């Protein structure tokens, strides 16, 4: 199953092939968001697993959940290309960073696809999962380099390493779209939003803290945050690695997305203001999973490992765990009180 990038209730793809326009010439610019962001299917499998572990509702697996996981796994098997190295590669894709289109082996995409395959195996999406196990054992997963940094996609490190201020000075018009075939960011390492950082935030058990910190510090100055979804991912990972001051700044930015005048209201002639509901979801994640440090085990057990910034003296968070309403109160100094309501 290759899920729609943008859809209404019917699930039919509604994302245009020409999302942006050259603000000077008026030429419509071809984009590939709806065709190449194949990580969307793995994202949905990820969400299903989180729901099952938090709610304890395994009936959903027999009500379409297993079929979902099977179809997602089958999609990646059909999409992958076997190379001379004997490994399966996911080529011609777009990761969360939409400025770099049609790249090969985007780290976020490959690792999320691997996670989706592991879910199909764990929940036995089909009677015989041997084909999934074989594929997973041979799926290419980019490893950290000598400095602990994971290359966002094949060839990323070879691109021009330029500062955001220098790149911004190359704009012909403030409304220019930074990505696509003629975008100023395309030949550079400047990215639209959290990509590898998002991967490490969503799958926190993949790598040790040292790798998380190395990637945070590497991609931080190279991220333009052209998406309202970016700040929350940096807040989430930043809180875990101890970058609390910066994490709080990103949390505040995410929370106030629609309360302050944005630095960039247009992208390729398209107005990107308005309400950013998904950004608020990210704000919640950075507060609960970041500062409160909510951790969820494979069997759904919840624990808290807080990282409170100096601006927050205490947090009180109501939540449901397997149908039971609970409240956790976290105070500076590490005090944690969990109550059932």
Residues labelled as active-site residues: 98
Rg (CA), the chain: 20
Between the alpha carbon of residue 107 and those of residues 25, 119, 165, 237, the distances in Å are 35, 18, 26, 17
- Tally of CB atoms within 10 A around 180: 20
In whole angstroms, what is the distance from residue 283 CA to residue 229 CA? 9
Which sign, positive or negative, has the C-alpha torsion 35, 38, 43, 46? positive
**Which residues are paired to 317 by β-bridges?**
328
Give the containing element (helix H, strand E) for 81.
Answer: strand 81-82
The dihedral over CA atoms of 71, 74, 79, 84, expressed in degrees to the nearest 10, equals 160
What are the residue ranges of helices labelled H in the chain?
33-36, 39-55, 59-60, 66-79, 107-122, 130-137, 164-168, 196-202, 209-219, 230-241, 244-255, 277-285
Cβ within 8 Å of residue 323, ≥6 positions away: 55, 56
In whole angstroms, what is the distance from residue 26 CA to residue 269 CA? 9
Write down the residue that tokens 């950004």 correspond to: 279
**Which residues are paired to 160 by β-bridges?**
188
């Amino acid at each position: 199953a290759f899920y729609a990038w943008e859809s209404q209730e019917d699930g039919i793809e509604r994302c245009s092939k020409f999302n942006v326009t050259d603000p000077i010439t008026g030429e419509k610019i071809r984009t590939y968001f709806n065709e190449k962001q194949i990580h969307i299917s793995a994202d949905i499998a990820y969400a299903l697993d989180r729901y099952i572990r938090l709610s304890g509702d395994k009936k959903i697996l027999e009500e379409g959940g297993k079929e979902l996981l099977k179809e997602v796994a089958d999609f990646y098997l059909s999409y992958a290309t076997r190379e001379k190295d004997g490994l399966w590669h996911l080529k011609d894709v777009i990761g969360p960073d939409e400025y770099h289109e049609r790249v090969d082996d985007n780290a976020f995409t490959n690792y999320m696809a691997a996670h989706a395959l592991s879910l199909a195996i764990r929940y036995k999406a089909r009677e015989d999962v041997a084909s999934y196990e074989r594929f997973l054992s041979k799926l290419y997963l980019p490893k950290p380099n000598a400095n602990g940094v994971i290359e966002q996609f094949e060839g990323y490190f070879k691109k021009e390493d330029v500062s955001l201020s220098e790149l911004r000075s190359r704009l012909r018009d403030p409304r220019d779209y930074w990505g696509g075939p003629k975008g100023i960011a395309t030949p550079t390492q400047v990215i639209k939003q959290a990509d590898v950082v998002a991967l490490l935030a969503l799958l926190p058990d993949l790598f040790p803290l040292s790798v998380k910190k190395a990637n945070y510090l590497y991609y931080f100055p190279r991220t333009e945050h052209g998406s309202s979804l970016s700040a929350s991912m940096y807040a989430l990972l930043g809180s875990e690695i101890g970058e609390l001051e910066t994490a709080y700044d990103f949390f505040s930015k995410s929370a106030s997305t629609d309360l302050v005048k944005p630095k960039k209201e247009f992208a390729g002639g398209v107005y990107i203001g308005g309400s950013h509901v998904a950004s608020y979801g990210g704000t919640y994640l950075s507060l609960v999973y970041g500062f409160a440090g909510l951790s969820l085990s494979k069997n759904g057990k919840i624990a808290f490992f807080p990282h409170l910034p100096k601006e927050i003296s205490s947090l009180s968070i109501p939540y449901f765990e397997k149908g039971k309403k609970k409240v956790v109160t976290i105070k500076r100094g590490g005090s944690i009180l969990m109550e059932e309501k």
